[in-house]
Amino acid sequence: MKLYDLELSGNCYKVRLFAGLAHIPLDIVAVDFLGGEHKRAPLLDLNPWGEIPILVDGSVVLRDSHAILVYLALNYAPPQWLPRDAADMAEVVQWLSTASNEIQNGPCAARLVDKFGYPLDKADTLRRAARIMPLIDAHLANQRWLAGTQATIADCAVMPYLALAPEGGISLADYPNIRRWIAQLRELPGFVPMPGV
């Protein structure tokens, strides 16, 4: 299995993190992002959206980190990572949605402005982060993991951009439960670090 990857991408990191925790071997292929390798063939043939990560597993080609997490969990990991019970699975999926929406447009977008110079509305990203981060911190006050009693792909999807929030000017000082949860993930066997995490 190949993962077309950028080391500093939180979305790529979600996949590397889960693969490490679930002991799924991946052949990591570094993409020259600044050189625009993802915007031309052969990568553009694999993902016409011109984005990474891209997972290639035989004839299966997937874009989008959360789709890749679901695929890997269903095919290569124990069921704890993506429960098969409808209610438990839905609980995980709601966190994938949170990662794709509130976190992507809040802490992630703030980091894109500060670290990579993206022309986004920084004040808006901070407002969004100020709304979602207290909600997540409050949720984690009564839960060890985001969904259920064990780590799931929900934790892998949400953690990177929260851990990287300081790179967008968002302090974690007021979020003790988020800090504890990040530390717990770091202690799991197979944890894979990335710069900034």
| CATH number of the domain encompassing residue 167 | 1.20.1050.10
Start-end of H helices in the chain: 10-21, 43-46, 65-76, 86-98, 109-116, 122-140, 153-163, 176-187
Instruction: Look over the chain and give the mean of its residue pLDDT values, rounded to a whole number.
Output: 97
Q: Give the chain's domain count.
A: 2
- Among 167, 144, 142, which Cα is nearest to 154's? 144
pLDDT interval class at 99 (50, 70, 90): very high
Residue 192 lies in a domain: no
Please tell me whether residues 122 and 172 are part of one structural domain: yes
The SS3 of residue 78 is: coil
68-84, pLDDT tens digit by residue? 999 999 999 999 999 99
Kindly indicate the confidence band of residue 120, based on its pLDDT and cuts at 50, 70 and 90: very high
Domain CATH for 27: 3.40.30.10
Average pLDDT for 18-47: 95
Rg of the chain over CA atoms, in angstroms? 16
71 lies in the same domain as 124: no
Q: Is residue 159 part of a domain?
A: yes
Give the model confidence (pLDDT) of 125-140 as tens digits: 999 999 999 999 999 9
The count of C-alpha atoms lying within 13 angstroms of the C-alpha of 9, restricted to the half-sphere facing its C-beta, is 20
In the prediction, which pLDDT does 33 show? 87
